[in-house]
Structure 1
């Protein structure tokens, strides 16, 4: 089963957008641009709050040994 995790490799701040991009198998830059557009159109509050909530909810990937 496919699970959503924070990204360890495609991260700029915390890996939320990179994790979403890995889950949907799309370019992380596209996810970041969509997130910025959403943040700008919501006057900053919606995008920032959504990012903080996503950071709190999305787990880190398990450590593979």
Structure 2
């Protein structure tokens, strides 16, 4: 049984949020990082706020 979202500090660069998302969805961490940067540039910083919230709240 899957436990839910967890940060991956082993493969993470800053807080491990993108690496945790990559593990959760079974994709390469590079693609989640590219998507995060693209969404941040297009989303006027909202993805950055979500990233920091997940970094604080996720185990």
Q: CA RMSD in A?
A: 1.0
Deviations 1:16-59 (A, max 9, x none): 0000101111100000000000000012x212101111112211
The total of aligned residue pairs comes to 58
For the pair shown, which has the larger CA radius of gyration, 1 or 2?
1
TM-score between the two structures when normalised by the length of structure 1: 0.80
1:1-65 aligned within 5 A = 1-2=1-2, 3-43=4-44, 45-59=45-59
